[in-house]
Chains A and B, each alone.
Chain A
Amino acid sequence: MKSPTVQLIAGLAFTLLVIGGHAVFTLRSVWRMREVQTSIIDRNGLASLQLIRIQNDLNSLGLAMRDMLDNDSRYPLTAWGPPLARIRQNLEDAIAREAALAQGNRPAEQTVFLTASFADFWRTSDEALRRAGAGDQRGALAMVRNTLQPRQEALSALTARLLVDNHDRESRASEQVRDIYSEIERNSYWVLGLSLALILITGAGLIRSNRSLFAQLSQLAEQRRELAQQLIATQESTLRAISRDLHDEFGQILTALGAMLRRAQSLAPDTRFREQVQESTEVVQGTLERIRSLSQSLQPVILEEQGLAAAVEWHLAGFERHTGIAVRYDGPQAACELPAAKAIHVYRILQEALNNVARHAEVNEVGVSMQASPGEPGLRLTIEDHGRGVTPASRPGVGLAAMRERAELIGGRLTISPASGRGTRVCLELPLDPTGGAAPALEAHHV
């Protein structure tokens, strides 16, 4: 059986590698995108705002010059000094800001041309105002019409072109951002696919090894059970054989010995000898009774002859006698006869449970109840004491395991739980076959 750990670690490592690679790629893309966003799009947007401001001011200049040339104005051209100065101040501020933002984005000659054009415009307008101030209204107006107006129009056109350039640059940057986005998207799909495949492969391997592990486990459990049951069956048949031998062989020998001794006694002349034989007869009688009792306890004949209920009552009486622990017995109302092959296991479970009580519970009373009803739950045997109980520390011994095996062997269910109050409650539930013809599994295992 191969351990799946190596496979698992490999899968995990590959997945981490894929995710890590993706993270690095995504971060690099985001950095690139931020670069494009801040250095091109944002700066460009701000520059465009300034260009719009410039255009606005140029438009105001255009309107101002149109008004200058309207000859219905009652005010001299010199009156335009402050308004033009205001527009100029705003314009120069916008131009400076725009230049700072557009740095590097524009050919140097374009910048030079722009600066020169504006400088030229203001020089001319100053000159026009100076002429107007000196009284040459017509000359000043001619300058406005012939020089300033065309220049203003040219500057407007140039600003418009710069705006278009900015827009183009922005579009290209946006395209770049779009490309980066689709790269990330593509990459994400790859990562998703790879991760899914890795997870699938690792998962499938895991499931397979898990399944074979479980199969092995249940096989082992089955083997162990069979072994245990064989052990029990062997034990039972051995006990039965010993019991029978004791009863049949030694019983007959002792009975014969007893009869011979009695005959010898009747023939004996001497009183003293007769007394000796009498004593021997009594010893033989006692041994016989003990062998019978031993045989009975190893393999109670009463079980086979009178059934479970009688055997239980017989055993309880013996238990009381031997241990001095009082038994409160609640016997079955109805008949609850089981095939002997099953009944022996019920009997053994009772025996073991009571043994445990006697050995561990430190009580002087135990409650036993056996109830029977046809069908479910069938036979219910309960042994309950209020002794020390099953502590977490107490290790389940071989006895308990054997009880469980026996219960399982006859298709019953054994539960061991704390009794109400304190102590231990052992309960065996066994469905009663209404036909009573359940084939006892035990015979098959006879050795």
Chain B
Amino acid sequence: MSLTRRQLLSGMAGAPLQDSGPGFRLVDVTQAAGLEFRHNTGAYGAKLLPETMGPGCAFLDYDQDGWLDILLINGQDWPGHRRSLSTMKLLRNNRNGTFSDVTRAAGLDVEMYGMGVAVGDFDNDGFPDLYVTATGQSRLFRNNGRGQFTDVTTAAGLGGREAFSTSAMWFDYDRDGLLDLFVCNYVRWSPQQDVRCSLDGRNKSYCTPEAYRGDTCWLFRNRGNGTFEDVTAKSGIFDPSSKSLGVAMLDPDHEGWPSLFVANDTQPNKLYRNNRNGTFTESAVGQGVAFSEDGRARAGMGVDVGDFRRSGRPGIVVTNFDKEMMGLYEQAQGRYVDRATAAGVGTASRDRLGFGCLFGDFNLDGHLDLAVLNGHIDDTVRNVGRRVSHAQVPHLFLNNGQGNFRDVARDLGAEFTSPKIGRGLAMGDFDRDGDLDLLVTTNGGAAVLYRNDVSTARQSLRFRLEGRKSNRDAIGAVVQVFDPSGRQTQMVKSGSSYLSSSDRALTFGMGTIPTADRVVVYWPSGRVDEVRALAAGKTYHWVEGQAARALGWR
């Protein structure tokens, strides 16, 4: 009797050799959950650049009751064209599949032209704070732990900055146990500077960023006293040629020092390597991630990092414009190579304009899959290109276990494949059934909540880490799970995707393997914790330096 290698591997991963189906469905529960939201772009016909870019969204547990709440970012009417009041929305999880609007009670009914959000506990008080980016002044909201947020922008030293800010990220680049803040800025734009562009030669359309000057990203160091120091120049991040939309943290060489990948629109992407002394060295060109394989700067939008090949060396996904394909960079001989076409995501994404993107094990088979939201920036696009439409179908690429992907969006139900003008994408387990649900925002449209219903007997192993010496959110911690099928590696992250913030709990698919042999946590402080024989099917609360404690679910 002989087994093929493939049979052996899938047998070890506990996946029955079966199903042509994806093993899960994404059910639209927006109505049932009571998510009433419509993104206000403020558009009144002048086609101003920011209108087409937002909004972002977040899964967060703002009240720390163990159930994920939802934050949806919103724009507003342009000055001189006021029609109604529109603010972001905070929706509290009622623990029964429904949500309640608590925006006003939480003090977040603030009018601003919001773009994205980064969720992070910058004051280490155990409650997540918010940095909401905007066209204009972005804002820092401190969570007071009693269900309310306070705008501390000015007090924190982040005021007086008008910019077209997009994605933002909390991370501890100097490993002092305090979350620092990285903010992407897109282009230098104001309603007065708006340029007239046209796709079809008659109607005004939204410009590509080539029409505008770039702007530098910002890096703010957390002083630990509630204020931040602008270290953009000092750290070597300063670069006014960039037109940045997405940011992700990564640690390609397992040094424990987080580096940065910044996706730039029509400009070379940037890879800032952490020099471990508070500065960064930009090396995207040499590392092979600045351009496409044919040497062109593409329109980078969203970005995520994940060890989808289970090699221990994370790959990078970048969503781009239509006719450019996504970039899927993998490390090979000390530099990165774009393997999008070979890995099966290139051709599929050629006619789509991608935004939010996330690696996640959606079918819990132990291999990271890839969700991508698509949608064009301009509704006049159909006048010029027949293959490209304004609203577009999302991708859900299933990992075949060898790091190659197949788009199974069509098999996930009509609700998921309905075309949309997708932008923000976040993931988290809002119904606490152990799998990853998806939160989606659309430009000028509704937010959509997709509940993941895994139809197989597969289970997951989930971790909610809490740092002690490390930053309390444990952002930057790396968890490795060992089981008979091999090793899985994930990092607790902020940033990634596009304008959005996912739950920072980690979800490892275990297939039908009941117990992980060994789980190791590499904390940002340098501490390494390890436990053996951890049962799957549970979420564990793991405090730095203490034993993992099962929270359980269901």
> A: which residues have CB within 8 A of B?
60, 63-64, 67, 73-76, 78-83, 86, 90
Contact = CB atoms under 8 A, between A and B. Distances in A.
B233 A64 contact: no
9 contacts: A64-B241, A74-B230, A75-B233, A75-B238, A76-B233, A78-B233, A80-B238, A81-B236, A83-B239
A59 to B, nearest CB: 10
B66 interface: no
B285 A90 contact: yes
Contacts of A73: 240
B282 interface: yes
Contacts of A74: 161, 230
A260 to B, nearest CB: 124
A177 B535 CA distance: 75
B280 to A, nearest CB: 8
A79 B241 CA distance: 13
A83 B233 contact: no
Given A60-B241, A64-B241, A67-B240, A79 B282 contact: no
A79 B233 contact: yes
B549 to A, nearest CB: 45
Given A73-B240, A86-B282, 11 more contacts: A60-B241, A74-B161, A75-B216, A75-B232, A75-B233, A75-B238, A76-B233, A80-B238, A82-B282, A83-B239, A90-B285
A64 B216 CA distance: 12
Interface string B200-216: 00000000000001001
Given A75-B216, A75-B232, A78-B233, A64 B238 contact: no
Contacts of A64: 240-241
B interface majority secondary structure:
loop
Contacts of B238: 75, 79-80, 82-83
Contacts of A86: 282
Contacts of A60: 241
A74 B158 CA distance: 13
Q: Which of A60, A64, A73, A74 has the most CB of B within 10 A?
A: A74
B209 to A, nearest CB: 14
A429 B230 CA distance: 122
A60 B297 CA distance: 15
Contact of A63 (B161, B241, B282): B241
Interface string B240-282: 1100000000000000000000000000000000000000011
Contacts of A67: 213, 240
B22 to A, nearest CB: 44
Contacts of A80: 238
Interface residues of B, number: 14
Contacts of B285: 90
B60 to A, nearest CB: 31
Contacts, number: 32
Contacts of A63: 213, 241
A64 B213 CA distance: 11
Nearest to A83: B239
Contacts of B161: 74
Q: Which of A74, A78, A82 has the most CB of B within 10 A?
A: A82
Contacts of B281: 82
Interface in B518-547: none
Nearest to B279: A82
A76 B216 CA distance: 13
Nearest to B236: A82
A interface majority secondary structure:
helix
Contacts of A81: 236
Nearest to A82: B236
Interface in B110-163: 161
Contacts of B233: 75-76, 78-79
A382 B57 CA distance: 111
Nearest to A76: B233
A310 to B, nearest CB: 97
A335 B320 CA distance: 107
Interface in B402-421: none
A57 to B, nearest CB: 11
B157 to A, nearest CB: 12
Interface string B4-42: 000000000000000000000000000000000000000
Contacts of B232: 75, 79
B260 to A, nearest CB: 14
Contacts of B239: 82-83
A290 to B, nearest CB: 105
B216 to A, nearest CB: 7
A334 B285 CA distance: 111
B35 to A, nearest CB: 39
Q: 10 nearest interchain CB pairs?
A: A79-B233, A82-B236, A79-B238, A75-B233, A67-B240, A83-B239, A75-B238, A86-B282, A76-B233, A60-B241
Interface string B273-312: 0000000011001000000000000000000000000000
Nearest to B239: A83
B422 to A, nearest CB: 33
Contacts of B236: 81-82
A79 B232 CA distance: 8
B127 to A, nearest CB: 31
A78 B241 CA distance: 16
Contacts of A78: 233
Nearest to A75: B233
A83 B281 CA distance: 10
B8 to A, nearest CB: 48
A76 B234 CA distance: 10
Q: Which of A76, A79, A80, A90 has the most CB of B within 10 A?
A: A79
A63 B238 CA distance: 14
B228 to A, nearest CB: 14
A74 B231 CA distance: 12
A52 B285 CA distance: 17
A78 B235 CA distance: 12
A305 B282 CA distance: 130
A80 B285 CA distance: 19
Nearest to B280: A82
Contacts of A90: 285
A79 B238 CA distance: 6
Q: Which of B236, B238, B282 has the most CB of A within 10 A?
A: B238
Contacts of B213: 63, 67
Contacts of B240: 64, 67, 73, 83
Interface in B178-232: 213, 216, 230, 232
A140 to B, nearest CB: 14
B519 to A, nearest CB: 39
Contacts of A75: 216, 232-233, 238
A90 to B, nearest CB: 7
A49 B213 CA distance: 25
A90 B241 CA distance: 15
B77 to A, nearest CB: 27
A148 B233 CA distance: 21
A301 B285 CA distance: 121
A141 to B, nearest CB: 16
B506 to A, nearest CB: 34
A64 B241 CA distance: 8
A429 to B, nearest CB: 80
A83 B239 CA distance: 6
Nearest to A67: B240
A276 B233 CA distance: 167
B277 to A, nearest CB: 14
A83 to B, nearest CB: 5
A69 B233 CA distance: 17
A265 B239 CA distance: 163
A63 to B, nearest CB: 7
A82 B230 CA distance: 16
Nearest to A79: B233
B153 to A, nearest CB: 16
Nearest to A68: B240
A73 B239 CA distance: 12
Q: Which of B161, B213, B240 has the most CB of A within 10 A?
A: B240
Nearest to B270: A86
